[in-house]
Chains A and B, each alone.
Chain A
Amino acid sequence: GAVVSQHPSWVICKSGTSVKIECRSLDFQATTMFWYRQFPKQSLMLMATSNEGSKATYEQGVEKDKFLINHASLTLSTLTVTSAHPEDSSFYICSAEGAWSYEQYFGPGTRLTVT
């Protein structure tokens, strides 16, 4: 149980285009999901907290107009990287918190490459 999926697992896009990444909690409802970014050989960096039915809360330094987050249901949050540039190339990971504990369940990640 407590499985989180991400789609796609990897994506290559051209500079200037937008890319949407989906995060789903497959067997539980998650009122809160989190989005992280991880550059090679670095740690995960929290980008934003996604709350179902309300606006996301972004961490300092993260551009909310560039990284659009939508949490329309209790099992789905989406991250859209708008007008992507090569410096946005990274590993994007989402997580969802179960209501029964303070454990976060992480997705497998999405590798974004912007050419």
Chain B
Amino acid sequence: LAKTTQPISMDSYEGQEVNITCSHNNIATNDYITWYQQFPSQGPRFIIQGYKTKVTNEVASLFIPADRKSSTLSLPRVSLSDTAVYYCLVGQIGNNFNKFYFGSGTKLNVKP
């Protein structure tokens, strides 16, 4: 199982771009990289998912280098409401389902 390592916490200010890097050195060939956001006492919310290179959606971008041993979630112009825990997950695909093992996550604190 590919284990992920993220910074425990990060601080930022409103309007800044935030980049959260995740290390997954033993990622397998058929693993996807997925990022989730979680607010206190709520279930995680999907942010973005990718396999390689760059993926962008309306809320974030995901950068994955060629060796896929790390990935970076980029949140443009964060606001106070982006204060949450962000989890990087590497999932086993195939065999009809995708199991997720959550790491410690990164607690992002956005200040005014």
- Seen from chain A, the residues whose Cβ lies within 8 Å of a Cβ on chain B are 4, 6, 31-32, 34, 36, 43-46, 49, 51, 91, 93, 95, 97, 101-109, 111
Contacts and interface: CB of A to CB of B under 8 A. Distances in A.
A69 B46 CA distance: 25
B96 A46 contact: no
What's the dominant secondary structure at chain A's contact region? Answer: strand
Contact of A49 (B32, B44, B99): B99
A93 B43 contact: yes
B45 interface: yes
Contacts of A101: 49
8 contacts: A31-B97, A43-B87, A43-B102, A45-B102, A49-B99, A102-B32, A102-B34, A103-B49
Interface string B41-67: 111111001000000000000000000
Contact of A108 (B42, B91, B100, B102): B42
B43 A107 contact: yes
A87 B96 CA distance: 33
Contact of A104 (B41, B98, B101): B98
A45 B99 CA distance: 11
A68 B63 CA distance: 40
Contacts of A91: 41
Contact of A43 (B34, B46, B91, B103): B103
Given A91-B41, A108-B43, A102 B102 contact: no
A44 B93 contact: no
Nearest 7 pairs of A and B residues by beta carbon? A106-B43, A32-B97, A44-B102, A102-B98, A43-B102, A106-B44, A93-B43
